[in-house]
Structure 1
Amino acid sequence: MNIKPSSSIRQDYNGFSKYCHELDEPVILTRNGEADLVVMSHETYRRMEARNRLQSKLLVAEKQVAEGAELMEHENVMETIRRKLNAAKENH
């Protein structure tokens, strides 16, 4: 765990920001010796959110498999992904 006093952000925002970006993990800020806030770089937050979305989708898929849902063949899955990637490229 990475713990810093809240004064570290007030006294040197640029240094604290650099620390968060280099650390690439959440930092717990304390206030009067007690945990108060959790701070992280935007990129770290985006990756955390992506992991959470993926985990949610995997839980849904596991439930579907447990309930007997029909599975797709590997080639069909890959073709679907390729189509979606190509469509995304064409829209940009």
Structure 2
Amino acid sequence: MKIKPSAAIRKNYNEIATLCKESGEPVYLTKNGEGDLVIMDIGVFEKRERMLNLREQLVAVEEDRINGKKGYSIDEATSCMQKAVQEVLNDKS
């Protein structure tokens, strides 16, 4: 965990940006000794968001399964994935 005073972002933006990119970790900014903001590399943030969205979807699917909602067989899921991949490939052509 990297912690910097909030004034550091104004004075040392490039240094902090480099720190975020090289470490892949968020940098916590403080104001008057208290936590104020968190900054991070945009690529790391986007990956984190994708992971959180996937986790939410998996939780929703698990809740549906527990509540008895009908799911898909492995063959049905495989067929859907193959169709989706084919559509993507066709769109690139």
Query: Matched residue pairs, number?
Result: 92
Structure 2: 5+ residue runs without aligned partners?
none
Aligned to 1:69: 69
TM-score (norm 2): 0.84
Aligned to 2:56: 56
User: For the residues of structure 2 that align with 1:78 and 1:18, how far apart are their CA atoms?
Assistant: 42
Q: How does 1:1-40 map to 2 (within 5 A)?
A: 1-40=1-40
TM-score (norm 1): 0.85
User: For the residues of structure 2 that align with 1:89 and 1:33, how far apart are their CA atoms?
Assistant: 53
Deviant stretches of 4+, over 3 Å = none
SS at match of 2:71: coil
User: For the residues of structure 1 that align with 2:4 and 2:90, how far apart are their CA atoms?
Assistant: 46
User: For the residues of structure 2 that align with 1:49 and 1:38, how far apart are their CA atoms?
Assistant: 15
User: For the residues of structure 1 that align with 2:55 and 2:73, how far apart are their CA atoms?
Assistant: 21
Q: How far off its partner does 1:53 sit?
A: 0.8
SS at match of 2:86: helix
